[in-house]
Chains A and B, each alone.
Chain A
Amino acid sequence: MSSPALLLADSSSNLLAARNQMGFTLGFHIVLACFGVAFPAMMLIAEWRGRKRNDEAALRLARNWSKAVAVLFAVGAVTGTVLSFEFGLLWPRFMDRFGDAFGIAFAIEGIFFFLEAIFIAIYIYGWNRLSPRAHMWAAVPIVISGVGGAFSVIAANAWMNQPQGFKLDASGHVTDVKPLDVLFNNATGYEFFHMLLAAYMVTGFILASIYAVGMLRGRRDAYHRAGLLIPLTVAAIASPIQLFVGDTAARAIADDQPSKFAGMECIYKGGTDQTEWLGGICTDGKVKGGIGVPGLDSLLVGFSTGTNVTGLNQIPADQQPPALTMLHLSFDTMVGVGTLLFLLAVWFAIAWWRKRDLPETKWFLRAVAVSGVAAVVALEAGWIVTEVGRQPWILYKIMRTSEAVTPAQGIWWVFAFTMLLYIALFTTAALIIRALARRWRAEDLREPPTDVPYAPPREEEATA
């Protein structure tokens, strides 16, 4: 065994392990992060509605949601902390060379994390002892810092896709940094809005789907109706805008990151009049089994079938993204799910417009019941497109992921262990939230009729 070959084998297997580790932990955190970004706004809407309209059900929703948020927020915080460690543990060469540009956005994010953690604590633990006004005001900084936090993290990620605002010195380190150019790089705009809308869609559809399931099981009370209506309205408003932003993102990528675009659309041969492939497997230089619409891809990119689109044949082999089929199907999955969710929003809007009421038909509720999982699928698929599509680069066209990875051994073991740990975390959190819901339902049965808002506290509560 020659040692250079061994080394090479080692470091490439290390690379795969590190990428899997990063992708898995990010993919887990991002779902909780969506809740961190969008759940506070839903709570605030419910609380505001509850207090303003004396709507006991909405108020109870807000209160119950905040119990669930306490658990979700904690898991979001610890899994986010793991990510901060991982940047250094998995990609030390990247941090060494680019930490002072990459970190610019994260430094700002620290402020939002603080504000979010502080005010979420005040909100969650302050239900009973703060005045209603003070309590509602406490939610406002949470909503703002959710948006700000998402902006900062996404600006860092966008900069990895479109690195700008710096020069490299002789040793390959960063100099002449322009912080504003780093923050507002070419990709920040669409990535940020796309992610923000995704967070509201994921949270909204998941919450709505929980209450839709309850209604399908026959619990059609005011509480369940409000629980479905508020989040679904928010998600339905976000859905059409999301299509527009996603479309903008795709067009920008065709210009700025042609290798990613060629990968996600499976364009083997560049040129005009490109076929748009829906589904299919990318092998041997062509797409098998997909539905091809001639000229549509060029039309989507440049509003004319004459638009020239870069193909993989124009990109050096060692700069092409891997796993083309996965990339292509991920993109199609996101777009497909996004379109279906948009149609669900249209259905909801038409029904509301005609009857001024929530459609309670079985099929509508069933559609809402699956929308939550569907939104998460779109979210994960989108991140696969972004991250795998950027490969082999960690910093697009500047640094390769293979140059960034740690030489430390044993990452596969860490990865296996992390999977088990996170699955355990996920299961426990899910069981807890289910147990909470059961408990609230049990308490509900002892409740006075719901049309008496602000019933005086009862004896048993004082002792409970």
Chain B
Amino acid sequence: MSTADVCAAILWIGVTLYAIFGGADFGAGVWDLLAGGGQRGQSVRGQIDRSIGPVWEANHVWLIFVLVVLWTAFPTAFSAIMTTLYIPLALAALGIVLRGSGFAFRHALPGPVQGTASRVFGVASVLTPFFMGTVVGAVASGNVPAAGDGDPTASWTGFLPLVTGALFVAVAAYTAAIFLVRDSGAAGDQDLRDYFARRALIVAVVAGVAAVLGVIALRQDARFIYDGLTSWPGIALVVLSGICGLAALVLLVADRNRGLRVAAVGAGVAMIWGYFAAAFPYILPTSLTISDAAGASATLTEVIVVFGVAAVLVVPSLILLYVLSQRSALEAYSTSSEVTSPRQ
């Protein structure tokens, strides 16, 4: 493996983690949007706040990580993508602003406008992963020329990019539902657990349909990726993804919490790495290879070193955050200045 390949793998690790954790955040926004009003809506939103309140900002840094590694290690690919897909990318950036501020503002805003902030958060949570999906779909279908300046509209409005966009939204909603099933189950709220479990099942079917459409579209518009996914080693990851997905469904129906998240997340991870295996050695299939896109060699080494340092410093901190959050050592945002349960 060359240093460029290692950097590509690092990039892909970032993509994977963003897809899981960032995806779960977006998905929570989708459920927030669909929660409706009344008592039920309140308790759904309450659970969403408790689940993502303390962690969404850290989750979101994975996106920064991906952008920075992309432009530092593969500047040519970054510029090609940016000059071709600037419309969906700008819309995704807008979505990020709206959902981040919508979420942060809604706790602190007074009653009447709170609903508006929530809706902004919800709608932006649907649009952002959709546009990110179209970007990935456009790259997969080879619509981004290595020199950049590809068609700014046709590149991402074809069948494959649009299906990928829809798939991203569905998978995000699914991941979120699974996390929320687990969190409400752990909080002992069986009612809410059932609520999210039902939705997880429905959206799993939607995601399945989108995935099948995606495969058809791949066969048509991205033959290289399709061939990669249907031959070794891509096929192994596709099969693994299918097994994990089915296992998650079984656990969901059987009302079991254990292993649920691992299975559901495993399905997504296997799919993401399946794509990586299928696209290899290209970063922009089939116009730009990883090694042709790679930047200066000392920079690649630096990226690897920094990633090593990050793994030592950031991973334990992230685990600490997730553990504290899951053990309810962190609580939802409150505007009050008062002490609720001092532990002096």
List the interface of chain A (C-beta within 8 A of B): 60, 63-64, 67, 70-71, 73-75, 77-82, 84-85, 87-89, 92-93, 95-104, 106-111, 113-115, 117-122, 124-132, 141, 166, 174-179, 406-408, 414, 421, 425, 428-429, 432, 435-436, 439-440, 443, 454, 457, 461-462, 464
List the interface of chain B (C-beta within 8 A of A): 53-55, 57-58, 60-61, 63-65, 67-69, 71-73, 75-76, 78-83, 86, 89-90, 92-94, 96-97, 100-101, 103-105, 108-110, 148-149, 152, 295-299, 302-303, 306, 309-310, 313-314, 317-318, 320-321, 324-325, 328-333, 335-344
Q: A88-B78, A464-B336 are in contact. Are A125 and B330 (CB under 8 A)?
A: yes
Chain B hits for A113, CB < 8 A: 61, 64
Of the listed residues A81, A107, A439, the one surrounded by the most CB atoms of chain B closer than 10 A to its CB is A107
Distance in Å: Cβ of B219 to nearest Cβ of chain A: 31
Chain B hits for A406, CB < 8 A: 82-83, 86
Selected contact of A114 from candidates B110, B318, B329, CB within 8 Å: B318
Q: Is the CB of B298 within 8 A of A178?
A: yes
What separation, in Å, do the CA atoms of A14 and B55 have in the docked complex?
A: 39
Q: Is the CB of B298 within 8 A of A177?
A: yes
Chain A hits for B80, CB < 8 A: 96
Q: Is the CB of B298 within 8 A of A179?
A: yes
Distance in Å: Cβ of B312 to nearest Cβ of chain A: 10
What separation, in Å, do the CA atoms of A73 and B338 have in the docked complex?
A: 21
Q: Is the CB of A70 within 8 A of B72?
A: no
Q: A67-B335, A96-B78, A428-B105 are in contact. Are A126 and B96 (CB under 8 A)?
A: no
Q: Is the CB of B310 within 8 A of A425?
A: no
Q: Is the CB of A75 within 8 A of B104?
A: yes
12 new A-B contacts at CB < 8 Å, known A82-B96, A130-B343, A132-B344: A74-B105, A78-B97, A81-B63, A88-B79, A92-B78, A107-B68, A110-B64, A114-B318, A129-B343, A429-B105, A432-B105, A443-B336
Distance in Å: Cβ of B303 to nearest Cβ of chain A: 6
Q: Is the CB of A454 within 8 A of B96?
A: no
Q: A74-B100, A75-B101, A114-B317 are in contact. Are A85 and B89 (CB under 8 A)?
A: yes
Q: A99-B72, A111-B314 are in contact. Are A79 and B97 (CB under 8 A)?
A: yes
Dominant SS among interface residues on chain A: helix
Q: Is the CB of A100 within 8 A of B296?
A: yes
**6 pairs from A and B in contact (CB 8 Å cutoff):** A60-B337, A75-B100, A108-B306, A117-B57, A125-B330, A176-B296
Selected contact of B79 from candidates A95, A101, A177, CB within 8 Å: A95
What separation, in Å, do the CA atoms of A107 and B66 have in the docked complex?
A: 10
Q: A121-B330, A128-B343, A439-B336 are in contact. Are A81 and B78 (CB under 8 A)?
A: no
Q: Is the CB of B82 within 8 A of A121?
A: no
Distance in Å: Cβ of A210 to nearest Cβ of chain B: 15
Q: Is the CB of A74 within 8 A of B298?
A: no
Question: In the complex, which residue of chain B has the Cβ closest to the Cβ of A96?
Answer: B79
Chain A hits for B68, CB < 8 A: 84, 103, 106-107, 109-110
Distance in Å: Cβ of B264 to nearest Cβ of chain A: 24
Closest 3 CB pairs of A and B: A100-B295, A103-B72, A99-B75
Q: Is the CB of B90 within 8 A of A89?
A: yes
Q: Is the CB of B148 within 8 A of A96?
A: yes
Q: Is the CB of B343 within 8 A of A85?
A: no
Selected contact of A454 from candidates B299, B331, B344, CB within 8 Å: B344
Chain B hits for A407, CB < 8 A: 83, 149
Chain A hits for B75, CB < 8 A: 95-100, 103
Q: Is the CB of B314 within 8 A of A114?
A: yes
Distance in Å: Cβ of A80 to nearest Cβ of chain B: 8
Chain B hits for A127, CB < 8 A: 339
Q: Is the CB of B54 within 8 A of A121?
A: yes
Chain A hits for B60, CB < 8 A: 77, 81, 117
Q: Is the CB of B303 within 8 A of A78?
A: no
